[in-house]
Amino acid sequence: MNKIALGLIASALALGPVLPVAAQQEHVVEIVEVRGVIDPTTAGYLTETVDDAVESQAEVIVIQLDTPGGLDVSMREMVQKILRSPVPVVVWVGPPGARAASAGVFLVYASHVAAMASGTNLGAAHPVDLGGDLSGTVEQKAVNDATAFLRSLAEQRGRDVEFAEEAVRESASLTATEAQGRGVIEIVSPTIADLLRQLDGLTVATDSGQRTLVTDVSEEGQDRV
C-alpha cells in the first residue's frame, strides 16, 4: 500500500513544551511548538494538547508551526481535532525563517486564526509518495482529493479558495505579506508576544459558539509568563 505524504520528509520532528501563559484574570493561553515532520507522534501530541486545553478551560491554543510537510493521515487527524476544538486554535508560522509547506498548509487553513511571521512562507501542497511511486492515475486521484479537502477548509474558514487549489495543483507558495493580502491568513506578527496583543479582543467562531479572546499579557494584571 502506498503511503501518501504531503511534502518532503526533510527534518526530524521536534515538539516543544506546552507553555501556559496567564493573561489578565487568569485567562490561560497554551503555546506549543510543532517543528518538523507531521506524523502520528505529532498528531497524538496535538490531540493531547487540545484535550488538556479544554480541561483547563484555556482561552486559546497557539501553535508555533515550522514544517516541511508529512503524512496525509496524520495531517487529517490534526485538522479534525482543530475543527472540533471548542478552544480556539491559532496557527502561527514562525519564527522568521520557518515554513508551513504541504501538510502545514492544511493546518493553517483549518485554524480559527491564521498568522505568519515576516520571513516565512506557506504553500507547495502537491502530494508526493514516500515510496517514490506516485504517478499517473494514482497521482491524479491524490491531487484531486487533496484539492477538494483544502478547498473545503478554505470555504469553512472564509479563506482564499483560489490559492488553496494553486497550492495543491501548482505547488504555489506565498510570503506572509502575500498570504495576508490574499486572505489566506489574518495576521502578520514577528513574535508570539505581538501575536497575543493582536489577538486580544478578536471574536472567533468555534463549534461551541462565538469566543472573544482575552490574550494581552502585557498589562500590569499579568501574573506569569
Q: Is the pLDDT of residue 178 over 80?
A: yes
Confidence band for 225, pLDDT divided at 50, 70 and 90: very low
Mean pLDDT over 160-183 rounds to 97
| pLDDT value, residue 52 | 95
Confidence band for 138, pLDDT divided at 50, 70 and 90: confident
Q: Considering only residues 116 and 140, tell me which one the structure prediction assigns the higher pLDDT.
A: 116
Give the β-pairing of 173-175 and 99-101: unpaired
Q: What percent of the chain has pLDDT over 70?
A: 81
Confidence band for 127, pLDDT divided at 50, 70 and 90: confident
C-alpha cell at 209: 459558539
> Residue 57: helix, strand or coil by DSSP?
coil
Q: What is the mean pLDDT of the chain?
A: 86
Considering only CA atoms, which of 189, 191, 179, 190 is closest in space to residue 101? 179
Asked if residue 40 has a cis previous peptide bond (ω within 30° of 0), the answer is no
For residue 46, the tally of other CB atoms under 10 A from its CB is 25
Q: Is the pLDDT of residue 199 over 90?
A: yes
Mean pLDDT over 7-24 rounds to 41
Give the β-pairing of 69-71 and 4-7: antiparallel
C-alpha cell at 165: 487549489
| pLDDT value, residue 34 | 96
| pLDDT value, residue 137 | 79
pTM of the model: 0.85
Asked if residue 161 lies in contact with residue 155, where contact means CB atoms within 8 angstroms, the answer is yes
Asked if residue 130 lies in contact with residue 70, where contact means CB atoms within 8 angstroms, the answer is no
| pLDDT value, residue 7 | 36
Residue positions annotated with a catalytic role: 102, 141
Q: Is the pLDDT of residue 162 over 90?
A: yes
For residue 32, the tally of other CB atoms under 10 A from its CB is 21
Mean pLDDT over 86-101 rounds to 98
C-alpha cell at 155: 470555504
60 Rama sector, left if φ>0, alpha if ψ -120 to 50, beta otherwise: beta
Mean pLDDT over 72-95 rounds to 97
Q: Is the pLDDT of residue 39 over 70?
A: yes
Q: Is the pLDDT of residue 160 over 90?
A: yes
